[in-house]
């Protein structure tokens, strides 16, 4: 599965980490990758997305494991193009796409979780965005959305763009944002018809959910993935 979102700070890593823990509790082999990470410094490493994924896998935060799951790491908390430029580097989109393809092909019998960076249209160079990575990966997407003011428009735009590129949207996770003027229930009610039109599942996840609610979210995501004809490739 490819976990993406409508933007940054929406909850991709939160959802991905709980999915990993849930699969492990079920005794399912699972691997995780976040190929590109920005804002990753010595000071922030322990709280980085890569570290959270390794913790969910119950693996050590070592240089070897970091290189294995997040080979493209940049210090500045910026978009990948700007973060790489500050270090005199550039983004090799083809190398990232090949890395993700290899990750999904390497263990087809296992669950593989790949977490994207930012939103679905974050650019990697002058021609490619994360959307192009999703297209090349050819696996179902789990899309995480928020409930802040404007989130509904962002979610509908993401769903429309993904459908236009024939990317399978297995599940939409509506992750309740921080204090705001829009309720989770109201956002879910407005979003539901559009998700159903995409033949996808919509899951609402309240802020500070209980363990049972997190398990229910994970189970719903896995059911949504299992219902997709392309689920067998990388899952």
Give the active site residues. 34
DSSP 98: H
| Residue 46, CA atoms < 13 Å, CB-side half-sphere | 1
Residues 6+ apart with CB under 8 A from 41: 75
CA 43, CA 201: separation in Å to the nearest integer? 38
N-term to C-term CA, the chain: 5
Among 86, 102, 26, 13, which residue's Cα sits nearest to residue 52?
Answer: 13
Residue 49 in contact with residue 37, Cβ under 8 Å?
yes
């Amino acid at each position: 599965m490819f976990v993406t979102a409508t933007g940054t700070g929406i909850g991709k890593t939160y959802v991905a980490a709980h999915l990993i823990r849930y699969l492990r509790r079920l005794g399912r082999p699972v691997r995780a990758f976040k190929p590109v990470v920005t804002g990753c410094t010595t000071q922030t490493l322990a709280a980085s997305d890569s570290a959270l994924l390794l913790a969910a896998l119950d693996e050590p935060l070592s240089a070897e494991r970091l290189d294995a799951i997040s080979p493209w790491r940049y210090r500045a908390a910026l978009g990948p193009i700007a973060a790489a430029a500050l270090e005199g580097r550039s983004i090799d989109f083809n190398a990232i796409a090949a890395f993700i393809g290899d990750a999904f092909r390497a263990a087809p019998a296992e669950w593989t979780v790949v977490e994207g960076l930012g939103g679905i249209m974050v650019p990697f160079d002058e021609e490619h965005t994360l959307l192009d990575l999703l297209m090349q990966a050819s696996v179902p997407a789990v899309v995480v959305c928020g409930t802040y003011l404007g989130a509904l428009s962002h979610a509908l735009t993401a769903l429309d763009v993904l459908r236009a590129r024939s990317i399978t949207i297995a599940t939409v996770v509506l992750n309740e944002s921080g204090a705001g003027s829009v309720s989770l229930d109201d956002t879910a009610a407005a979003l539901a018809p559009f998700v159903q039109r995409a033949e996808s599942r919509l899951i609402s996840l309240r802020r500070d959910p209980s363990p049972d609610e997190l398990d229910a979210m994970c189970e719903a995501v896995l059911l949504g993935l299992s219902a997709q004809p392309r689920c067998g490739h990388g899952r």
